[in-house]
Amino acid sequence: MEPPKDKWNIVLLIFILHGIGTLMPWNMFITAKSYYVGYKLGGSENSTSVSNYAANFLQYHGFAAQIPNVVFNWLNVFLNLGGDLKKRMSLSILVELALFVLTVVMAMIDSSNCSGAFFWITMITVVILNMAGAVYQNSIYGMVATFPFRYTGGVILGCNICGLLVSLIILVLCFDTFLGLPLNKFFIYKELSRKADDNENVKNSDIPYWSIFKTASIQLLNVFMIFFVTLAVFPAVNSDIKASSADFFIKDPVMYVQYTCFLTFNLFAMLGSLTSYWIQWPGSKYLIIPVVLRLIFIPLYLFCNYLPMNVDRRLPVIIKNDWIYWIIGVLMAYTSGYYSALAMMYTPQTVEQNFQVKAGMFAGAMLISGIFCGILFSFLAPYLV
């Protein structure tokens, strides 16, 4: 049949919205660092353990988030966790909504005399959130893989918008619009095509997982490396870089971090993803070159005025100009958004059409694996300085 058009780009906009939804749990916590470190974990308890919770909150959060994220992303590639893609996504969103409500309730409780208990309840919440989030994220990348590659770019764009739009309403909209997708002719056509390919694969042979992985391996490596470098410095290292002089236009220390770390990254990563809609350069063959060159951002950040809590820095601060540090941050964020969109768009195109769903799911799993390894590396940052 003649494929219908995506009228008014409704399906594209919904995939962008789901990209926002997939990173909602992550952004909910990292953008509230000062709230957790300075308020909820800085109460009347002065024990070493509580101060350690505050000093390493983002690292602990990253660890608690990404272990279940990695495990369930990879499991979701090989196993049908919760049924078909649509059922998995629906259940995941509902679990995230329930835990979001729990997080709001926890925020209302006075935890000044039980900081340790609050910390561990928060970490358990993070673990469960990311178990659901992993299935949700991996499923959306599998679903969008058979669409034109700008739809994959739409999901990545949504991920990079997410930090600017952390709110409950997005998850509610994700659930509502997901129920509305089956009413769209363009979506129905692509879903029927995907199911036909899936049925053909089942009839012909087992899914050649290793062959798919090997064929897409260069792009999968690109996905892994991009997110490894990004998460090695953001937000753990980035948020502990202080102003080097009093001449910078942002004077307040808290606002300095909010602007140069969180706002800068979220804004320019979004702009990078947006750029990929009009420019796809370099091509899939040469994307590995700038991706590997991004490793330079790790030492660049460490040579800025990085002052982690409870650490006596011995490595000399070489980058003392706040404007240069900010430019580095802009470049890191922009290339993260731009190259991640290209890598995720290129990956499904490297395999045959009937294997694109699995290639997209592999890409989602490699994305999370890169995030996890980057967060593990960020634990070493205080020791390196």
Q: Which CATH number covers residue 119?
A: 1.20.1250.20
**Alpha carbons within 13 A on the beta-carbon side of 257:** 20
Longest dimension (CA), the chain: 69
Closest CA to 287 of 271, 301, 298, 276: 276
Inside any domain, residue 3: no
Indicate the angle between helix axes 10-22 and 149-161, nearest 10 degrees.
40
Alpha carbon 147 to its chain centroid, in Å, reads 21
Inside any domain, residue 320: yes
Inside any domain, residue 292: yes
Coil, strand or helix: which one is 99? helix
What is the value of pTM for the model shown? Answer: 0.77
Inside any domain, residue 236: yes
Which two tokens mark 196?
């036909």
DSSP state of 241: B
Inside any domain, residue 51: yes
> Do residues 272 and 341 lie in contact, with contact meaning Cβ atoms separated by under 8 Å?
yes
Res 214 pLDDT > 90: yes
Strand ranges in 111-208 using DSSP code E only, listed in sequence order:
none
Inside any domain, residue 4: no
Inside any domain, residue 298: yes
Residue 115: Cβ-neighbour burial (10 angstroms; 0-12, 13-18, 19+): buried
Closest CA to 238 of 332, 341, 372: 332
> Do residues 206 and 78 lie in contact, with contact meaning Cβ atoms separated by under 8 Å?
no
For residues 8, 13, 15, 18, the Cα torsion angle rounded to the nearest 10 degrees is -150
d(CA 257, CA 267): 14
192-211 average pLDDT score: 72
Res 9 pLDDT > 70: yes
How many domains does the structure of the chain reveal? 1
d(CA 162, CA 181): 21
pLDDT tens readout for residues 277-313: 899 999 999 999 999 999 999 999 999 999 988 888 9
Confidence of residue 174 (pLDDT cuts 50, 70, 90): low
Domain that holds residue 50: 9-384
Inside any domain, residue 1: no
